[in-house]
């Protein structure tokens, strides 16, 4: 056994667990004010919970622009996937948060970052009729021709989900339904 492994406690003490749970609650609630001092004191901005959700994943997924900005400016990785392989950008494409999608891209989020099943943020935007996010992703180099593990493209996914606006837009860009 290496020396460092012996230093890691087998179980977390109640105070530490309460602190961590509180940290994730602040992020989910978008309490940027309290997080500012915690980040300044050295809370790791790439901290992840038991599901692999990073702080930036939770802040962005819950639509908290300022909390997301704080975390990204403090060095949070915009591309860290959770245990299901979902990225913060795919989450905001699903939810429809254009301002946070712009922020994530500004901080290095990959427009084509695919989950294990091959779904990209563009596909999520297409499926859930998020036209503005679809256009933003295309402007940032997202592949309109990518296919997921089932061979489905953004246009075929939009059609399957009856996402009429994104379907019509993709067809207008030369994609076949």
- Residue 103 included in any domain: no
The CATH number of whichever domain residue 177 belongs to comes to 1.25.40.20
What DSSP element (H or E) covers 169? helix 164-172
Chain center to CA of 130: 15
115 in the same domain as 82: no
The partner residues of 137 in beta bridges, in order of sequence, read: none
pLDDT in tens, 28-41: 999 999 999 999 99
How crowded is residue 9: how many other Cβ atoms within 10 Å of its Cβ?
A: 7
The number of domains in the chain is 2
pLDDT in tens, 57-75: 999 999 999 999 999 999 9
166 in the same domain as 130: yes
81 in the same domain as 16: yes
DSSP designation for 10: S
59 in the same domain as 22: yes
Q: Which domain holds residue 71?
A: 12-89
Tokens of 127: 């499926």
- Residue 102 included in any domain: no
17 in the same domain as 79: yes
- Residue 104 included in any domain: no
pLDDT in tens, 114-143: 999 999 999 999 999 999 999 999 999 999
Q: Is the pLDDT of residue 4 over 60?
A: no
Q: How far apart are CA 137 and CA 143, in angstroms?
A: 9
- Rounded mean pLDDT, 148-164: 97
- Residue 3 included in any domain: no
- Residue 139 included in any domain: yes
Query: Would you state the pLDDT for residue 177?
Result: 77
């Amino acid at each position: 056994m290496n020396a460092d492994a012996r230093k890691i406690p087998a179980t977390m003490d109640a105070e530490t667990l309460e602190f961590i749970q509180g940290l994730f609650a602040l992020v989910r609630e978008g309490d940027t004010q309290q997080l500012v001092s915690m980040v300044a004191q050295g809370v790791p901005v790439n901290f992840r919970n038991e599901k692999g959700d990073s702080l930036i994943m939770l802040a962005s997924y819950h639509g908290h622009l300022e909390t997301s900005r704080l975390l990204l400016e403090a060095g949070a990785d915009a591309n860290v996937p959770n245990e299901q392989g979902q990225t913060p950008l795919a989450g905001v494409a699903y939810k429809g948060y254009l301002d946070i999608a712009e922020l994530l891209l500004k901080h290095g989020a990959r427009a084509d970052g695919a989950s294990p099943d091959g779904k990209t943020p563009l596909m999520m935007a297409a499926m859930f009729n998020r036209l503005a996010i679809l256009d933003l992703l295309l402007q940032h180099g997202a592949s309109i021709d990518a296919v997921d593990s089932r061979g489905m493209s953004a246009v075929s996914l939009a059609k399957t989900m009856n996402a009429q606006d994104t379907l019509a837009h993709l067809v207008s860009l030369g994609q076949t339904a």
